[in-house]
Amino acid sequence: MEIKLFGIRHHGPGSSKSLIKALSVYQPDIILIEGAEELSNLLPYVQDETLVPPVAALIYNPKNLQQAVYYPFTVFSPEWQTFLFAQKYGIPVVQMDLPQSLRLGLDEVPEKIAELKKLEGQEDVKDIVKDPLGYMASLAGYTDSERWWEAMFEQGDGNEDIFGVILDLMKTLRTEIGNQGQAYNLIREAYMRKKLRKAIKDKYERIAVVCGAWHTPALDDLNAYKVKDDNALLKGIPKVKTKATWIPWTYDRIATSSGYGAGVVSPAWYELLFFNRDNATINWMAKVSQLFKKEDLETSSAHAIEGVRLAETLAALRGLEVPGIGELTESVMTIFSGGYQSQLDLIRHKLVIGDKMGDVPETIPIIPLQQDIELNIKALKLKKYKKADVVWLKATANKPKGGLDLRQEHDLKQSQFLHRLNLLSIQWGIPDVATGRELSTKNEYWKMEWRPEFALQIIEAGMWGNTIQQATVNFVINQATHAQTLVELTQLLEKVIHANLPEAINELVQELKNLAAITKDINHLMTALPPLVRIYRYGDVRNTEIGMVDALLQKIVPRICISLPNACTSLDESASEEMFDQVLSVNRSLLLLNEEMYLTVWEETLERLLDNQHIDGKIRGAATRILLDNEVLNVETAAGILSYALSKSVDVVVASSWLNGFLYGSGLLLIHNPILWEIVDEWVSGLKDEQFQQMLPALRRTFAAFAPAERQKMLQLVRDGKLIERPTFDTNLDPERVKIVLPMLQLFFGE
């Protein structure tokens, strides 16, 4: 009987080549590999050509989806190549790592890990313990362990004798630092030894053990570890029921930059290195040139040639067999990007990390909800957008952001499907909200990016139903019954309208009616109004029944108008600012609604605000501006109100606040109405120096909100010292009318 240990680097292309050469020479009759026991049921799918790496084994607790773990694999991962080798030669493979059923069970007995740490004296762990390979890298002059390991073990073309060197290195490191920092690994390694002893007991003659290099010393001499001690480490760990499946993974999630502990710096480069080491540098530089050309950046064949030469020169100077990703990026920075970091970031995303995503066969068992989602993706022709890179839905050369036309049945169904996924927090598509066009026109613009964690989110959403429609309806109804505010309900209703879930609308509207009837806070009513108006105004674009929403508006709008004057009274600065925003929001909504009945009652309400001195000046100024814009007030009347608001009897702080509300958003009012301009001009000119300095920040904020063209026009008016011709008024007095008021004037003045 013979045991050979093969210590590998997870996702190392050089480790893979060396391992396959060593296994081919050794020809084991069983392979024990570092992997959770749950992987055993997934291995038959590896031979399926439609299971395309990168993929990950998802192992989870179906009763608690927070307990889940991913085992990622790339085509160049040593474990993946071992699976293929074993299947080719009919060699049994045993997963020898601690099963996730026990690993998750450890969460229920934290005292076990705590006790091990205490016994090992891990309260003060040295840096060498935290990163022993990093320590070795620093001794060799490298900045991190990843680049050191790559240079030492991953850049070669495979050497079956390297595993003896790795074992000796790991023995030395573990002898020097002991087992500190390895409490969890102590339990794992005890289980690995248990599986190894079983293989020996089963009379296998040539046993191959493939595991992370760090674990090899713990498996080298079984006699150094007592069986009873290993059993004691494993005793008392409860077992959690788990399930496992294959899911697509991405190079982005394999990269160390994602936070993945066993990740590599450059998955895309490692793939090139694995398949064609001799021409990897040339191929990589060619890809850089193609990428620059695609992005309309300056490039040529000469750039690629010089890039290869520089990278190989740097590698030779540093004693490397082939250039590493460090040499490649330095070469590109010098030859291609001219030192511009933005271009290097593009290369890093596409060619260092890579945007590759794997695929899994349809034969893999999945929950009913996932099956329904996949059927919808296929029927709606969205499969091509199921990729790791960010793309715009239906993008073309002429329309980079693409766009759905909701008048088209197919586009409308795509929109509804994506909105349903978003309701379940599966945000494959993110609607572009920069302009709000998806809410106000027939078009929607979706940014698409598939993420691996959606697999777990779909499983979690499966508790609500077996189809996407059933799951979203049940989820929405549950959310509605637990909603505490009108805002939550109206926002949810808007999403439901977009997702076309008529079964949930009745429930939502009923909850809205119930909550609206008892809601006394006008802020909640005002915040709830805009979504309802959008639903009412644009529901017809989505062929949605909006009668129930109209009935709700008929109740909410009058309540807002009745309560607003009192709600605006005696507010502090923060509350006044919030109410100001609310008033503008309600006004925009009612203008969008464009119903004379609502506009009339709203304008009457605003008129009640104008003379109430207990209301913040900014709100009164905004009310005046709205009434002027809506032609309820004429310019002369507005000028009179403005003149009083800026009179010397009014505190300058209050006056400044009023002016801010009156001019909010646009300065055209002053440019085209000289009478208003002169009033403001006189007020500013009449401020004392200390008053002007006090008001200057507020005035700057007010005028800074104007469009550049408006500010330029105002500057020109001030510079020229003249205004647009002011309208003239008849100043001749009617003697008969003067006689009527003269006695009263004489009484006032005592004449």
pLDDT given at position 555: 83
Residue 340, in any domain of the structure: yes
- Shared-domain flag, residues 225 and 275: no
Under 8 Å CB-to-CB from 316, ≥6 apart: which residues? Answer: none
- The number of distinct structural domains making up the chain is 4
The mean pLDDT value of the chain amounts to 85
Residue 73, in any domain of the structure: yes
Residue 538, in any domain of the structure: no
pLDDT given at position 591: 92
- Shared-domain flag, residues 64 and 30: yes
- Shared-domain flag, residues 162 and 310: no
User: Long-range pairs for 372-377 at CB < 8 Å and ≥24 separation?
Assistant: 372/466, 372/467, 372/468, 373/421, 373/458, 373/468, 376/417, 376/468
Residue 552, in any domain of the structure: no
724 pLDDT band, cuts 50/70/90, is: very low
pLDDT at 416 over 80: yes
> What token pair was written down for 578?
């919030």
Selected residue with higher pLDDT from 722 and 611: 611
Neighbour-count burial of 208, counting CB atoms closer than 10 A to its CB (0-12 exposed, 13-18 middle, 19+ buried): buried
CA angle 226, 214, 242 (to 5 degrees): 75
467-480: average pLDDT: 92
684-703: average pLDDT: 80
How many residues belong to the chain? 751
343-361: average pLDDT: 82
Selected residue with higher pLDDT from 472 and 483: 472
Which of 464, 496, 528 lies at the terminal end of a domain, its last residue?
464
- Shared-domain flag, residues 241 and 118: yes
> What token pair was written down for 189?
């390694």
- Shared-domain flag, residues 320 and 414: no
197-222: average pLDDT: 93
pLDDT at 538 over 80: no
Which of 299, 331, 354 lies at the terminal end of a domain, its last residue?
354
Neighbour-count burial of 185, counting CB atoms closer than 10 A to its CB (0-12 exposed, 13-18 middle, 19+ buried): middle
Question: Within 13 Å of residue 630, how many CA atoms lie on the same side as its CB?
Answer: 22
pLDDT given at position 120: 57
pTM of the model: 0.69
Rounded-to-integer distance, Cα 172 and Cα 179, Å: 12
Name the residue range of residue 321's domain.
Answer: 267-354
- Shared-domain flag, residues 381 and 340: no
DSSP for residue 178: T
pLDDT given at position 121: 54
Rounded-to-integer distance, Cα 339 and Cα 383, Å: 38
- Shared-domain flag, residues 38 and 130: yes
pLDDT given at position 180: 54
pLDDT given at position 689: 83
311-334: average pLDDT: 88
pLDDT given at position 259: 65
Residue 65, in any domain of the structure: yes
Cα distances (Å, whole numbers) of residue 607 to 53, 628, 675:
68, 11, 22
279-300: average pLDDT: 87
- Shared-domain flag, residues 346 and 382: no
Residue 550, in any domain of the structure: no
Beta strands 64-73 and 443-444: pairing type?
unpaired
- Shared-domain flag, residues 308 and 440: no
Question: Within 13 Å of residue 527, how many CA atoms lie on the same side as its CB?
Answer: 14
Which of 414, 434, 464 lies at the terminal end of a domain, its last residue?
464
Q: Above pLDDT 70, what percent of the chain? A: 92
- Shared-domain flag, residues 240 and 311: no
Residue 511, in any domain of the structure: no
- Shared-domain flag, residues 628 and 720: yes
Cα distances (Å, whole numbers) of residue 566 to 497, 519, 608, 614:
34, 16, 10, 10
Residue 546, in any domain of the structure: no
Per-residue pLDDT tens digits for 508-526: 878 877 887 777 778 888 8
pLDDT given at position 437: 44
- Shared-domain flag, residues 83 and 180: yes
